[in-house]
A and B are shown apart, each in its own frame.
Chain A
Amino acid sequence: MNIESEQACKLSNRKNINQRWLSYQKRIADNHYYFARSCIRQNFFPASETVFLKILREELEKDIFDDPEQTTCTGIAYHSGIIPFETTMTVVARQFSLMTDAGYENFVCSCVTSFGIYTEVLETWRQFPKTEHKTREDLYKATGKTFKIPANLVHTSDIIYKYREEIAAKARYSLINRLTGKPLGIVDHVGCHYAKIFPVQGIGGAEYPQVLTGLIDAWGGEQIDYPERRHCCGFGFRQYLLKENRGYSLANSRVKFESMEPFKPDAIVANCPGCAFFLDRWQYVISESEGKTYDDAGFGIPVLTYEELAGLVLGYDPWELGLQLHQVDLEPLLKRMGIVYNPAMKYKGSDGLEIGHPEPPDYLKTTVFSNHS
């Protein structure tokens, strides 16, 4: 238990506050971070980490080190059963050695899968010191490197949560429907590996995570509570990797969509890049294969990463946030939020010249042709 939790528990003894709830609070370092990137986020949401770094450096004036030598944590391979845990632990040890060499002690990772990996490795070493010793030996033999255990390990969404009120104070837009004046209904989807493996590592634990609802509340939206709120998106690694088995993955997302549909969400926000990706793409697959969308207008439910949501609230250009790379069109949400943007810039390249546009799906509606006709 960290210092904050111990202090909170002492307080609870006086005020008879629930002890278990207090154990689900975590310490989030307030500055000087070592940044570990996400393979999935870089590929499928390639602007999100840039936006995160911009928010930290320019809006919050924090120090964060973006290390070019950092690599995959091997998480997907480990969870797919194709590499031994010893390999994963030693790659993680190498990441920690890079942090140590750079003079940092607060490790921040962008991937929820990685966050689960790092917490699993640290907990393994805590319970089995001989395993940590063996990993240190393997790392030294392989690379000549040594490392210190991070003083603080958090996910990037934890930091946005920590500074949500500071972001709200700088906000240009809020999660309010400009047409009705009512809060936008937002579904929070927290990746399984954030707190379902080790609930004490998540703010609010596995059942009542606050890491995303805190953003929704602070930025003017309304949380949507629905029966399958804590259901997995279905990524699951090994069943997705085999093309023939992807129906398992799809079926999980479908369970969630059908459960949230009656509550008419305006958007979904996720802290795991894999979840954000699948909740976006499986809506496309369901619509094209069954002619079904989970909104009234036929566009689908927009899905955002928390960096994209923060960027919109702060008034960043939607196309610099990379929202044109989502399969479910984000423009209906931009209009509801009253965001001023230029639809003609959506599909431009870096030089501002036309580079064509994606083919429209057969069933799922998009604004491609309305913008470019």
Chain B
Amino acid sequence: MLKYGYCIYIDEVDNEQFPEQGPVWEWFRKNRVKILERLGANYQGEGAGTLRKISEKSLQDLSMIFSITGAFDYFNQIESIVKSPPEVKSD
């Protein structure tokens, strides 16, 4: 979200992690510049449009919101629990 301004972005969704995407996705990702241009998208471009590049100002806004509302603290808490999971006591 803070890198692209999107929840998901085509550049990061590969068939290895998401094999259910199938061969169509593999072909699409490989040729995404030409296909997205044909479909009228604005892939990584300035201004409005599908899959456009989100401006630095907007990404900064998101980052500041995450900071002020505790999202980074929440991430850190999740990470620390993953690294050192609490001991589960069994009877």
Residues of A within 8 A of B (CB): 37, 39-40, 42-43, 46-47, 49-50, 66-72, 74-77, 82-84, 86-87, 89-91, 94, 138-139, 141-143, 145, 243, 246, 250, 281-282, 284-285, 319-320, 322, 324-327, 347-351, 355-361
Residues of A close to B66: CB separation below 8 A: 83, 87
Our pick among B22, B57, B70 for the contact of A86 (Cβ within 8 Å) is: B70
Beta-carbon contact of B36 and A39 below 8 Å: no
Residues of B close to A84: CB separation below 8 A: 69-71, 74
Interface residues on chain B, size class:
35 or more
**Chain B at the A interface: SS class:** helix
Beta-carbon contact of B22 and A327 below 8 Å: yes
Beta-carbon contact of B26 and A358 below 8 Å: yes
Residues of A close to B23: CB separation below 8 A: 327, 358-361
Q: Considering the chains assembled together, what is the distance between the CA atoms of A144 and B67 in angstroms?
A: 15
Residues of B close to A285: CB separation below 8 A: 20, 22
Residue of B26, B28, B36, B69 with most chain A CB atoms under a 10 A cut-off = B69
Residues of B within 8 A of A (CB): 1, 5-10, 13, 17, 20-28, 30-31, 34-41, 46-52, 54-55, 57-59, 61-62, 64-71, 74-75, 78
Q: Considering the chains assembled together, what is the distance between the CA atoms of A21 and B7 in angstroms?
A: 36
* Known interface pairs A39-B7, A39-B8; A90-B70 also in contact (CB < 8 Å): no
Q: Of all chain B residues, which has the CB nearest A324?
A: B24
* Known interface pairs A74-B7, A361-B22; A91-B58 also in contact (CB < 8 Å): no
Q: Considering the chains assembled together, what is the distance between the CA atoms of A360 and B66 in angstroms?
A: 43
Beta-carbon contact of B54 and A142 below 8 Å: no
Residues of A close to B57: CB separation below 8 A: 69
CB distance from B54 to the nearest CB of A (A): 6
Beta-carbon contact of A72 and B6 below 8 Å: yes
Our pick among B5, B49, B70, B78 for the contact of A82 (Cβ within 8 Å) is: B78
Beta-carbon contact of B50 and A37 below 8 Å: yes
Q: Of all chain A residues, which has the CB nearest B68?
A: A142
Residues of A close to B59: CB separation below 8 A: 71
Q: Of all chain B residues, which has the CB nearest A80?
A: B7
Beta-carbon contact of A138 and B10 below 8 Å: no
Residue of B7, B52, B62, B67 with most chain A CB atoms under a 10 A cut-off = B7
Beta-carbon contact of B38 and A348 below 8 Å: yes
Q: Considering the chains assembled together, what is the distance between the CA atoms of A40 and B38 in angstroms?
A: 19
Residues of A close to B26: CB separation below 8 A: 358-359
Beta-carbon contact of A143 and B61 below 8 Å: yes
Beta-carbon contact of A281 and B55 below 8 Å: no
Beta-carbon contact of B27 and A87 below 8 Å: no
Beta-carbon contact of B9 and A43 below 8 Å: yes
Q: Considering the chains assembled together, what is the distance between the CA atoms of A43 and B74 in angstroms?
A: 27
Beta-carbon contact of B34 and A69 below 8 Å: no
Residues of B close to A139: CB separation below 8 A: 65
Our pick among A66, A83, A143 for the contact of B71 (Cβ within 8 Å) is: A83
CB distance from A71 to the nearest CB of B (A): 4
CB distance from A290 to the nearest CB of B (A): 14
CB distance from A233 to the nearest CB of B (A): 13
3 tightest A-B CB contacts, nearest first: A349-B34, A350-B37, A358-B27
* Known interface pairs A39-B8, A47-B40; A68-B48 also in contact (CB < 8 Å): yes
Beta-carbon contact of A43 and B1 below 8 Å: no
Q: Considering the chains assembled together, what is the distance between the CA atoms of A361 and B46 in angstroms?
A: 36
Residues of B close to A70: CB separation below 8 A: 58
